[in-house]
């Protein structure tokens, strides 16, 4: 009897002991907050990786589009540009600083210049000559061009041309060439920057590196290109081929 009572007391003491309580608590311990923190960090890291991948893809797409646009701009520029033309008194009817020659046009260069009686502002005379070549045919680099040189050097004898308000020397040339069916070729992004490369199949450099087409208005060489020189009633225009544009007089 005494023994059984002692056993019950021992069990009670053992059950209430701190070590026993700690043991039970350890078996049913709550989830360690450290593990929870690590699990949340993994999720954040995964989200960061997804964001970085998405950002890289966007950057790659932007880079590809930029490269394509740059290539398109380069191709457009290459298709519409060419070597520099001589101006400042050089052949081609240009003057001032160097301008790039673009958009070569043959026979239909510049705006169509009508010559009807609507809004006529006055008349000018225009002449086209290559007398320097007819006098010195040996200067031609391509001898087959001799057939395009008239014996008297006159591609177009002095002719009256009616012009409209704000038309230019360039308009007069292109208009008279169309009317008389004279071949010509020009280049330039607009009539103001137009450069006359050839008239009557005779081109710049046909008689050397300093040869080409020049013009005078009332016996004077303008300081501007043909597309910038406006016409005035009674102007006398002459387009002439020069073998050496650096000469003071032709």
One domain for residues 232 and 113: yes
Question: 130 and 30, same structural domain?
Answer: no
| Cβ burial 94-127 (10 Å sphere, 16+ → b, else e) | bbeeebebbeeeeeebbeebbbeeeeeeeebebb
Q: Do 17 and 115 share a domain, yes or no?
A: no
- Residue 126 shares a structural domain with residue 211: yes
The pLDDT tens digits for 110-141 are 444 445 566 888 999 999 999 999 999 999 99
Residue 81: inside a domain: no
What's the pTM value of the predicted model, to 2 decimals? 0.57
Do 109 and 51 share a structural domain? no
Q: Are residues 112 and 218 in the same domain?
A: yes
Assigned domain for 85 exists = no
Q: Is residue 91 part of a domain?
A: no
> Which residue range(s) make up the domain with 202?
99-242
Q: pLDDT tens across 34-58, in order?
A: 444 445 667 777 777 777 777 778 8
Task: Tell me which residues of the chain have a pLDDT lower than 50.
Answer: 26-29, 33-38, 77-89, 94-105, 107-114
24 and 123, same domain (yes or no): no
Residues 168 and 234 grouped into a single domain:
yes
């Amino acid at each position: 009897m005494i023994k059984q009572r002692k056993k019950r007391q021992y069990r009670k003491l053992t059950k209430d002991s701190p070590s026993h309580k700690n043991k039970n608590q350890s078996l049913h311990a709550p989830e360690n907050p450290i593990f929870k923190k690590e699990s949340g960090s993994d999720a954040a890291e995964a989200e960061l990786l997804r964001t970085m991948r998405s950002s890289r893809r966007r950057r790659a797409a932007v880079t590809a589009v930029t490269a394509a646009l740059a290539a398109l701009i380069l191709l457009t520029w290459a298709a519409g540009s060419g070597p520099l033309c001589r101006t400042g008194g050089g052949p081609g009817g240009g003057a001032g600083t160097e301008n790039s020659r673009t958009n070569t046009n043959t026979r239909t260069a510049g705006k169509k210049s009508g010559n009807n009686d609507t809004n006529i502002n006055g008349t000018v005379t225009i002449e086209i000559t290559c007398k320097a070549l007819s006098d010195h045919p040996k200067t031609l680099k391509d001898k087959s061009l001799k057939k395009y040189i008239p014996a008297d050097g006159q591609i177009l004898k002095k002719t009256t041309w009616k012009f409209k308000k704000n038309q230019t020397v360039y308009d007069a040339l292109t208009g008279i060439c169309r009317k008389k069916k004279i071949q010509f070729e020009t280049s330039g992004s607009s009539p103001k920057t137009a450069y006359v490369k050839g008239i009557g199949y005779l081109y710049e450099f046909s008689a050397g590196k300093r040869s080409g087409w020049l013009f005078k208005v009332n016996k004077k060489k303008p300081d501007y290109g043909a597309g910038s020189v406006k016409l005035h009633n009674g102007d006398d225009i002459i387009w002439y081929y020069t073998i050496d544009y650096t000469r003071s007089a032709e």
